[in-house]
Structure 1
Amino acid sequence: MKDRETEQRLRHEAKTLLEQGKVNYIIGFEPGSLKFTTTPLITKNKDSVDCLIINPFIVNNLSVYLTELKGRVGIVAKGCDSRSIVSLIQDNQVKREDVVILGVPCSGIIDLIKVEGLVDKDRGELDDITHDGDKVVVTVGGEKREFPASEVLFDNCLGCEFPTPQEYDILLNESSPLVADETASRKGIETLKAISQEQRWDFWEKEFSRCI
């Protein structure tokens, strides 16, 4: 329900920014071609903002597109994304006055690979995945299975200190609670340390592929 409210607020604010000429572009997320995925949406068409979505699968860091666009840009940003935007501003790659940050409080992003492992099913076989507070409910063949969020979210999310953006112009919903599991987060780091350099390179290639 909270994602739906945030989504409606986002569409309203994005359309208003475009209609009033306060931005030239909106950067956000729209449904991806694969189940339970999203893809970046870059638009200057106010009617296209009805495609904007907010859900637990908005994994991409949209800040990578800021340096490619000319003019003023409205951008959807989670807590981790807003920190990337601030870094771009501090490095003089983007001017603060050219960015309108639409802050999205984030309770963590669902790792589909973890979900597939827990239910022993491919994502195409899943009916639904919902994130509700400290639990995630996966529906398979009409049967609901409940898991602690700490078992399903990306490891980086479990150690996140700023689920709510620290820098924003418009905050689209109230702050999200901190989802912290430092043990799980550290486990991912220790796993990386234990594997070969070639395996680490493969891992980071997959991680960076989410940013483009």
Structure 2
Amino acid sequence: TKDKNDADRLVINPFIVNNLANFLTEVKGRVGIVAKGCDSRSIVSLIQDNKVAREDVVILGVPCPGIIDLSKVERLVGKDRDELDDITWEGDKVAIKVDGEKKEFPATEVLFDNCLACEFPTPQEYDILLGEPRPAVPNLAAISKNLERLKEMPPEQRWEFWENEFSRCIRCYACRSVCPACFCQRCFVEETEP
């Protein structure tokens, strides 16, 4: 917001996936930004690459327990996100209310995979920290399991895995649009060869 009177409209919750660092290069003058741990890393990158002057940015750090992946929630409950009545985070469980019925799941089942491996739930760089720092507790078992699964695959199966991953790309360039470090002379997304 550009008006301090609109600050009460700002929302911080476990559904905010947007990285506000993407907008920093578009803003002129001094600006305040709310940043989770992953967002602050993007901000630091922009500062290090001289795309943003550190003295022009006031970073309001927000310790982050993780972000809820609504696609995972949809798969778990078999309903579209528009059909969900409510989602609440209670301790290490996430309660999802659908058709008046409450279902509970471990938070680790509904968080983004990146959040499960997060080493920086508290921003590394901030001017003001809103809340108490969170210790890094990455789910190393899940990370190791996925890596081991990939390592154990024969080369043909590993190739098939990666082909499947990359086949989902529809060249919408959303990855380019959200890249917080978008200043390459020639964008890697537009490259056709390594």
TM-score clears 0.5? yes
Between the aligned partners of 1:111 and 1:59, the Cα distance in structure 2 is 9
Q: Cα distance, 1:132 vs. partner?
A: 2.6
- Superposition pairs for residues 22-171 of structure 1, below 5 Å? 43-171=1-129
Shifted more, 202-211 versus 156-165: the winner is 202-211
- 1:201 aligned to 169, 189, 194, which one? 169
Name the structure 2 match of 1:7: none
Q: Cα distance, 1:51 vs. partner?
A: 0.7
State the identity %. 65
Q: Cα distance, 1:133 vs. partner?
A: 2.9
CA RMSD between the two structures: 2.8
SS of structure 2 residue aligned to 1:147? strand
The C-alpha deviation readout for 1:156-204, integer Å capped at 9, x for no partner, is 0000001000110010101234452234346399599814264253499
Structure 1's unaligned 5+ residue stretches are: 1-42
- Pair 146,209 (structure 1): closer, same or farther in 2 beyond 3 Å: farther
SS of structure 1 residue aligned to 2:88? strand
- Pair 65,193 (structure 1): closer, same or farther in 2 beyond 3 Å: farther
Shifted more, 179-188 versus 122-131: the winner is 179-188
- Pair 199,77 (structure 1): closer, same or farther in 2 beyond 3 Å: same
- Pair 149,164 (structure 1): closer, same or farther in 2 beyond 3 Å: same
- What is the identity, as a one-letter code, of the residue corresponding to 1:140? V
Q: Cα distance, 1:98 vs. partner?
A: 0.2
SS of structure 2 residue aligned to 1:94? coil
Structure with larger RCO (C-alpha < 8 A, sep 6+): 2
User: What TM-score do you get using the length of structure 1 for normalisation?
Assistant: 0.71
- What is the identity, as a one-letter code, of the residue corresponding to 1:69? V
User: What TM-score do you get using the length of structure 2 for normalisation?
Assistant: 0.77
Between the aligned partners of 1:148 and 1:119, the Cα distance in structure 2 is 13
Q: Cα distance, 1:101 vs. partner?
A: 0.1
- 1:180 aligned to 138, 141, 155, which one? 138
Q: Which has the larger radius of gyration?
A: 2
